[in-house]
Amino acid sequence: MTVAFAPAGITPRQARVLDTMLAAQERLIAGFEGVEADAAAEAAASAGAQEAGEPRRFGDHGWLRPAGGGGRARVIEDGRVFERGGVNVSAVVGERVPPTLAAQHPGTEGRPWFATGVSLVLHPRNPHVPAFHANFRYFEVGATSADAAAEPLAWWFGGGADLTPAYPVTEDVRAFHGALSDWCARHPQADYPAWKAACDAYFTVRHRGEMRGVGGVFFDELTAPADPRHTFHADLACVEDGIATLLPAYLPLVARHRRDAYGERERRWQALRRGRYVEFNLVYDRGTLFGLQTGGHIEAILMSMPPIAGWAFDHQPEPGGPEAAALAFYQPRDWGIAGGDAVADPATTTRRTA
């Protein structure tokens, strides 16, 4: 694929990863727009012609970075299903790797770098449909198009996906984690238990002592040290398979809940949970802070913000209500799917047999 924002002079290998990210963006948006089309058709069928209206689509916003590269932010707002969300691809370059990275990768000092990635965030309107975030990214130091055949001095993939339900349902969480676990099981370099634990730790609102949602997987610096199964192409295949896992992991949850009834109470709780999401993103999320501090494209970075978020002083959910039950989900928990074996879920009395 050729895109207007691709940095000048990228190597074939860099272009190959960028192609992966661009293809992911197309496929993800087709999936999410399909949901909007279904919802539009249902609205037309149930309410008659005057309610028909076009399905909501993702807008298209290209952006260029003065120092090199840019991106394409595809954003939906005020959708029937997705109140706000977006899928962003970027590819950026620099002439000298940042000092903190160079310190971790000796020999890369002062060398050019390249980064590309795809990230998505969806904030559904219905409080019973979980919010969803995923990101896959690639970083490389030292290769230039002048010597395209040479290996970069250092390279790695990172990524992850996490689910943020305001009203978590055990079966949904297990299905989501199960899809991610199945993906990891197909790739020797992937490690679901470790990546699940890393996700729980990363997406924690530390000052609240709670996760923003029910986790998923998170990994960083996936590269190819000595292990021959761990080549660039094997890692790329792992990432591409992870991207392919996103729609089957998430869309069934949307389909299951997007017609659930809700009212002001549920919208208020959703707003408060979104407030926690905002706290995490603005106080702790490394990607957000890095982007804000380095002059990234603000609107693409803050695409992750919810349409509306709320705060209330020392909010205590009604004892015994579904909001109080939700809080128990926002702590690290064994979902009983690691390795496909049945494991007792400490928080419920039900079991899932593999």
Q: Annotated active-site positions, please?
A: 133
Per CB under 8 A, 77 contacts a copy of itself: yes
- Cβ 188 to a copy of itself shortest distance, Å: 39
Q: Give residues 308-327 in contact with a copy of itself (rule: CB under 8 A).
A: 308-314
Rounded Cα–Cα distance for residues 108 and 61 (Å) = 33
For residue 255, what is the enclosing H or E element?
Answer: helix 232-257
If one counts every other C-beta atom within 10 angstroms of the C-beta of residue 7, the result is 23
Residues 6+ apart with CB under 8 A from 81: 35, 36, 39, 124, 125, 126, 129, 254, 258
Q: Shortest distance, CB of residue 131 to a copy of itself, whole angstroms?
A: 14
Q: Does 29 bind a copy of itself (CB under 8 A)?
A: no
Q: Minimum CB separation from a copy of itself for residue 283, in Å?
A: 5
Give Cα separations from 25 to 56, 233, 274 (angstroms): 17, 20, 24
Selected from 148, 198, 251, 302, the binder of a copy of itself by CB under 8 A is 302
From the list 109-117, 216-224, 225-233, 288-296, the region that binds a copy of itself by CB under 8 A is 288-296
Residue 21's φ and ψ, nearest 5 degrees, are -65, -40
In this chain, which stretch among 129-137, 162-170, 211-219, 298-306 interacts with a copy of itself, using CB under 8 A?
Answer: 298-306
Scanning 15-23, 36-44, 272-280, 334-342 for contacts with a copy of itself by CB under 8 A, the matching segment is: 272-280
Dist. CA 130–CA 35, nearest whole Å: 14
In the complex with a copy of itself, the residue whose CB is nearer, 60 or 341, is 60
Per DSSP bridges, beta strands 210-211 and 204-205 are antiparallel
- Asked if 61 touches a copy of itself (CB under 8 A), the answer is yes
Show the 3-state SS of 26-54: HHHHHHHHHHHHHHHHHHHHHHCHHHCCC
Is 211 one of the binding residues for a copy of itself (CB under 8 A)?
no
Structure tokens at 104: 């971790």
- Site membership for a copy of itself, residue 282 (CB under 8 A): yes
Q: What whole-number distance in Å separates Cα of residue 139 and Cα of residue 268? A: 40
For 140, left (φ over 0), alpha (ψ -120 to 50), or beta? beta
| Residue 175 or 303 with smaller CB distance to a copy of itself | 303
Binding residues with a copy of itself: total (CB under 8 A): 34
Give the contacts of 49 (CB within 8 A, at least 6 positions apart): none
Is 215 a residue that touches a copy of itself (CB under 8 A)?
no
Structure tokens at 20: 């992966």
Q: Closest approach of Cβ 2 to a copy of itself, in Å?
A: 25
305 touching a copy of itself, by CB under 8 A: yes
Residues in 80-119 at the binding interface with a copy of itself, rule: CB under 8 A: 84, 86
Nearest 10 degrees: Cα torsion 14, 18, 21, 24:
-120
Q: What are the backbone angles phi and psi of residue 291, rounded to the nearest 5°?
A: -65, -45
Q: Which is nearer to a copy of itself, 55 or 306 (CB)?
A: 306
When asked if residue 208 is in the footprint of a copy of itself (CB under 8 A), the reply is yes
- Number of alpha carbons in the 13 Å side-chain half-sphere of residue 134: 23
Q: Tell me: does residue 287 bind a copy of itself (CB under 8 A).
A: no
Task: Establish if 292 lies at the interface with a copy of itself (CB under 8 A).
Answer: yes
Minimum distance, C-beta of residue 290 to a copy of itself, in the bound complex (Å): 11
The nearest distance, CB 78 to a copy of itself, in angstroms, is 9
Tell me 230's DSSP state. -
Give residues 140-169 in contact with a copy of itself (rule: CB under 8 A). none
Stretch that binds a copy of itself, among 11-19, 97-105, 179-187, 297-305 (CB under 8 A): 297-305
Q: Which residues here bind a copy of itself, judged by CB under 8 A?
A: 59, 61, 73, 75, 77, 84, 86, 206-208, 271, 275, 278-279, 282-283, 289, 292-293, 295, 298-299, 302-303, 305-314
